Structure 1
Amino acid sequence: MDLNEFEHKEYRSFNDFFKRSLLTESRKIDSVAESLISPCDGLLSVYKIDERSLIPAKHSIYRMEDLLENKELADSYNDGWCFVFRLRPSDYHHYCYIDHGNVRSRKRIPGILHCVRPIAMEKYPVYVQNTREYTLIDTENFGQVVQMEIGALLVGKIQNSRHQGYVRRGTEKGYFEFGGSTVIILIQKEQATPELAVWMLSKLGQEVEVKMGQKIGCKGN
C-alpha cells in the first residue's frame, strides 16, 4: 500500500485505518459528461441484467428483486447493466457519486439469516442476505441509477452522507467501516455501456482493478 496517498495521522485502531481518508489530489475524477466513472477503488465485475440474473455480492447471491426488495424497480433494470465493485481490505473505502443528478429516495435493508430447511433451500441459493443501503438517483447522463452499498450480515458498517436534492459527480457519498465492502451500480437499458475490455474479462469470470473516478464505460448503448 502507498501510504503517501493518505492523510498523515496516527491511527488508533484497525477500523480507524480501514476508513482512512485520501489526500485530495490522490484520485482524479473523470469530468467528461459521457464517461461512466467508478464510484470507488476495488475489483470490478459487470453483469447483463435479465429476469434470471443472479448477482454475487459480499459472499451472497441475489436475484435482482431480492437485492432491491422491490420487484417493480428490479424489472425496470431488465436488459440493463449491473456493476459490482468488491473492495479489498487494502483498498480505499470511501466512495463517490457517479454523476450529477437529483436524489429521489433512499432505502436501508437490514441483513437476515434464512433457515436451512429444504423449503428455504428451494428459494434461496444461499442462506444470508447482507445489510445494504441504496440510493435512487435521476442522473444527468445515465438516467435513473441505483447506487447501493453492501455490508456484513446484520452489521452494516455503512456510513452514508444524507445528501438531499442535487448531488455532484465525484462528491463523497459515504464510506465503509470494517465489515462493509461492496458497491453496486445498476443502470437501465441503453443508458450506458461498459468498457469493452471490462465486459470481455467479466464474461471470462475475471475481475478488473479500478480506482475511484476512473472511466469504466460511456453514455448510451
Structure 2
Amino acid sequence: MTYLIKEKLYRIMIELTNGPFTSKILQKFTQSKWSRRLIPLYMKTYNISSDELSLPLDAYPSLQEFFIRKLKDNARTITEGEKTIISPVDGVLEDWGNITPDTQMLVKGKPYSIEEMLGSKEKADEYAGGKFILLYLSPAHYHRIHSPLAGKVVSTYSLGSKSYPVNRLGISLGKSPLSKNFRLVSEFENEERKFALVKIGAMFVNSIEWTCKNENVIKGEELGYFSFGSSVVLLFPKGYMEIDQNLKRGTPVLMGTNIGRVK
C-alpha cells in the first residue's frame, strides 16, 4: 500500500470516529463511577506503579480522576539552576530542532507551521530561527503540566476545535495535528524574552485544564493538566537557549529532567 493511500485511509477512519457524539460518550463513561472498576486493569496495561500515587487506589472515584492523578511530594526531582530548562511533563521526547526563518519546524520529516500553531504571523515571527522541543504523553504518563522555567505568564489563549491523534502514527499520517488540533497556548516572559508552551489536545477529548492562578511562576510549578493523552511543544526565540546534547529522540523523560539551558 502506498504512503498516500495509507494516509487517506487513516484520515477517513479518524474522521469517522472523532466527532462530538463519540467524544461525549467516552468522556461520560470515564467520569462515571462504573469506570473506576477499570483502574486496576488500566494500571496493569500501562505498567503504572502505585508507589507514586498521592492517594490510595480506592480513593479515585472514576477512571478520569485517576488519569489526572497527582503524585506524592518529591516523586519528581526538579533540576536546579536558574538557567536550566526542565521538561514540563512526563513523556517521550519525540523530536527537537530548529525553527526556520519562515517559521516552519520539521517533525519526523514533516513540516509544521508555527504561524498555524500560534494563530498569527506576528506571534510566529517572534520564534523565527529559534528552537522547538516536542514531548508526547501516552495514556500511561502522569498528565499534569508544570512550568519549564521561572517567569511571568503574559498570555494564555486557545485555538482549534477537533483533535486528531498525536502519537507517531498521527504525526506521520495525520492532518498536521500539532498545528491544527485544539490547543492551549501559553506565553511566558523570562529575562525580558518570551517563550511559548503549547498544549495540544488529543483524539476525542479536547479538555486541557489551566489551573494556575499566579502571574509569576517558579520552575516546576503546576500549571494545569490534560484529560487525555496529548503533546506539548516548547518554542524558544532565536539565540535564547541551547538543547541538552545528551538528549536522544524517542526516549522517555520525567517532569523536572534537564532538557536545555538559557544562553
**Normalized per residue, which structure has more helix?**
2
SS of match in other structure, 1:183: strand
Deviation at 1:15, TM superposition (A): 1.7
| Unpaired segments ≥5 residues, structure 2 | 1-47, 164-173
Equivalent residues of 1:111, 1:153 under 8 A apart: no
What residue in structure 2 maps to residue 67 of structure 1?
Answer: 117
One-letter amino acid of the counterpart of residue 149, structure 2: D
> What pairs with 1:102-117 in structure 2 (closer than 5 Å)?
102-112=152-162
User: Which residues in structure 2 correspond to 1:1-221 (within 5 Å)?
Assistant: 1-9=48-56, 10=58, 11-44=60-93, 45-50=95-100, 51=102, 53-54=104-105, 56=107, 62-112=112-162, 126=175, 129-140=180-191, 143-152=193-202, 155-178=205-228, 180-198=229-247, 201=248, 206-220=249-263
Aligned-pair identity (%): 29
Structure 1 unmatched runs, 5+: 114-124
Q: Please report the RMSD computed on the Cα atoms of aligned residues, expressed in angstroms.
A: 2.4
Distance 2:226 2:87 in 1: 16
Q: TM-score, structure 1 length as denominator?
A: 0.81
SS at 1:27 equivalent: coil
From the superposition, tell whether residues 48 and 32 of structure 1 become closer, same or farther in structure 2 (CA, over 3 Å). same
Distance 1:127 1:43 in 2: 19
Amino acid of the structure 2 residue aligned with 1:146: A
Checking the alignment, whether the CA contact within 8 Å between 1:111 and 1:154 is kept in structure 2 is no
Higher relative contact order (CA 8 A, sep 6+): 1
Normalising by structure 2, what TM-score? 0.69
Q: Which has the larger radius of gyration?
A: 2
- Post-superposition Cα deviations, 1:90-131, rounded to whole Å, max 9, x if no partner, equal 111001111111111111113258xxxxxxxxxxx8276211
3-state SS of paired residue (2:115): helix
Hey, what's the Cα distance between the residues in 2 that align with 1:170 and 1:127? 29
Number of residue pairs aligned between Structure 1 and Structure 2: 199
Structure number having the greater strand percentage: 1
Matched residue type, 1:2: S
Q: Using the alignment, how far apart are the partners of 1:171 and 1:21 within structure 2?
A: 13
Change (3 A) 1:163 1:8: closer
